[in-house]
Structure 1
Amino acid sequence: MLVALVIACEIGFWVLLAVGLTLRYVAKRPRLGAAVLLCEPLLELVLLVATVVDLGRGGEPSWSHGLAALYIGYTVGFGHYTVKWLDGHAAHRFGGGPKPPGPGYGKDRARHEWKLWLRTLVAAAVALGLLQLGVWYVGDAAAAEPLRGWQSAALRVAGIHGLIAASYTLFPRKAPAADPVEAVRERARNGR
């Protein structure tokens, strides 16, 4: 049942996001769209309460409880970023706003990747905290072993993402060579 709720929360996240952005930019109802977007944290609250209730009713700690904790951690770490990123793209596509800048190349890209890694650390810390609370709540070390396994998974994800971020520092991506035809067009547009 908990896995179905995690899936429902994920689907609900994207549905609320699509409805909120559609209201903001297509229907020209920015306040209503913002109100819909502000409802997104309620999904995680429902999932958290359902997980606690399940464990409180004597539910055996399982991988689904760990998955719920990781999902909540991910949403805390990346939820606002995802909404903001998609909002910028929707504003550009449907609202006539400027095109959002990409992560860039070289040092800018490395800085971007390290910021994402910090979000992963936040997500992992939230998940680790929730999982540890679950371990203490269950009280039985053997029964709580699935939760401890998810703690290890959260640490591995943070470590792997740290290695990926470091790779952008050690081996920075270079900007692609300018297309000569496009460079001529750009100079013509700028009057040079």
Structure 2
Amino acid sequence: MQESKAMKGAMRRRGLAVLSTVALLCAGAMLPAQAWAESEAVKELAAPPPIQLPLKPSPEFAKFPRYVGTLGTRQIVLRLGAKTDDPAGVHGEYQYTDTGEVILIAGDRDGDTLEVEESNDGTHITGNWVGKFAADGSVAGDRMNVDDSDPQPFDLKPLAAGQPVPAASAGAGAAAAPHASGAATPAAATSGAHAVGGVSNLQTGE
């Protein structure tokens, strides 16, 4: 009789131990899954938003000083300002007035020397600029491919705040028109270059 009670007690204790082990195993299996889910959520919040292509004018650069002029034979508007985390660093964007294409730039200004790199997708470097600032605030130099090939001159002058972008010259319009359509006249290219505040196909940044 006593042996029967002892056996029952032992079995009961063994059953409780098994249940406790199962509960611990279940909890252990859930914790890694929960930790993984939390880790993924943190990564998702910390990751920068994906870059939308084609690039659009950024509100971040809207307050930067503007420069207008030519890159090669095409008119561009450059917005260039200092980086907040780097005293010598500059960044911004430039936009072709004939197509509205936006290119990002970033680099350094050392005195009157400007050295920046450009990217048409925000990830890959597509070219580099080397130029000099003049006493009147204008900047001129050459834009080259990543391997320093195909240098194209740029000549940009500062544009006062609120001043509209001037229409592209007939020469620049004539050079850009065959590239864009192959049949447009210089007059048509010029009129198209200032369709919206002096910039054709201008889009608002997100």
**TM over 0.5, shorter chain:** no
Higher helix residue share: 1
- Normalised by the length of structure 2, the TM-score is 0.22
* Bigger radius of gyration: 2
Higher strand residue share: 2
Structure with higher RCO (Cα < 8 A, 6+ apart): 1
- Normalised by the length of structure 1, the TM-score is 0.24
